[in-house]
Every structure is written in structure tokens, then in C-alpha cells.
Amino acid sequence: MKYTIRLVIADDHEIFRDGLVLMLSKDGDIILEGQAENGLDLIHLVQEKKPDVILTDIKMPRMDGIQAAKALLAENPDQKIIALSMFDEENLIVEMLEAGAKGYLLKNADKREIIEAIEQVYEGNSYYCKHTSARLAKMIVNSSFNPYKKTEKAVFTERETVIIKLTCQQLTAQQIGERLFLSKRTVEGYRTKILEKMNVKNTTGVVIYALKHGLVEEKDIL
């Protein structure tokens, strides 16, 4: 990275915030500008600090993350927001994306993924947590959230399309290689090219992109 990202975080659990602060303080490319414990405080903090990225919990007192996101995006439609959620809050994640969040993370995400999500959203991309369930992926596809409206549809070769379908079925590169009589390394090369064409960072992104663009059908996702 050749830039510095100014970040604010919001979560009503102080221990969780402290853990995030400690973790992110070790990354010189991310500067924490402040933290809030509810949606109202978050709005005031953002108005004061004008951060590049907001990392916010969905469930918070006084005002939740969904309401806060709507208010912030009404004021600044380009505001970049990442939702933080528990694993069992799939409906809320979809609501947050429909409200305008650019990505989401489950709270068990590791340091590398949190930093990657912040970087990707900062660069204008969407980010889907790599621990996303097939059920949530389908819910996102069937929602009004569509980050691909303004992007040109990628063109995939026949072999790439087959690998996309097998990837969506949660097969590993080794398993795909055995099925297609290719080496694991060759499959990984195809996957890298597919990720680049889709502009996504993990298998979850592949699944959502493929479903949104009709490359696979819901019944084909395990």
C-alpha cells in the first residue's frame, strides 16, 4: 500500500473495540481516528473526523448500524462502510448492504481479513467475508444489493466457467484438478484469473458474482 486509510470504528462492546484498536494499531497504513459505542455517536464522530472507512457493528443501542448507515450515506453517498456482524445475523447483514454498506465481516474474522476488507472497500470494491454461508450468499443475490450495475460484465472461457461452477460447489483446487485432469497449480492459475476478472478476493465473492450474473443457479450451490 502507498496510502494511509483513516478509519473509525463503532461497537457497543468495549472489549471488542479495544481488541480491534490493539490489532489495527500495529498496521502503519491504517490510522484509527476514533471509536463510538452507538449509532448516534458514530454519526457525530464521522461528521467531525470525516474518515475514509467506517467499520461498524450492526446491533447497537440508541441507533443501530443500519439506521446510522442510512443517515451517513444520505449526507455523503460516497461514504465507505463495512458492517460487523455475528454469524447468526444474516438478515441484518442483507439489510446493511441494502442500506449502502460496501462490505461485511463476521466478528470472528482474523486480522488479515479485516485489513484486507478495509483496503478493498477503501479502493472502491465490495468485500464479502470469507466465512459466508451458502444461505447468506443466496440472500445477498436475491436482495437489491448489486455492486455490479456500473461495471462491464466479464467474459469467461469455457474452462473458466466450469471451474467457476466447481468453485461454487466448494471444491478445492486439488479436487477440481482431479475432476478436470489438471494439476492443482493449473487450477490455481485459472482461479487467480477468475478472481481478477470478477474483481473479488475470495470464494464467497466468486459465488455471489456467479449467481448475480447467471453463471450458476442457486440449486447448484451446495
Closest CA to 42 of 4, 97, 79, 87: 79
* pLDDT at residue 71 is higher than 80: yes
* pLDDT at residue 218 is higher than 90: no
Q: Compute CA distances 85 → 58, 60, 97, 134, whole Å.
A: 6, 11, 12, 16
Over residues 183-216, the pLDDT tens digits come to 999 999 999 999 999 999 999 999 999 999 999 9
Please state, rounded to an integer, the average pLDDT across all residues of the chain.
91
CB of 30 closer than 8 Å to CB of 4: yes
**Which domains does the chain possess?**
5-131 (3.40.50.2300), 158-220 (1.10.10.10)
**Distance (Å, rounded) from C-alpha 188 to C-alpha 60?**
41
DSSP designation for 127:
B
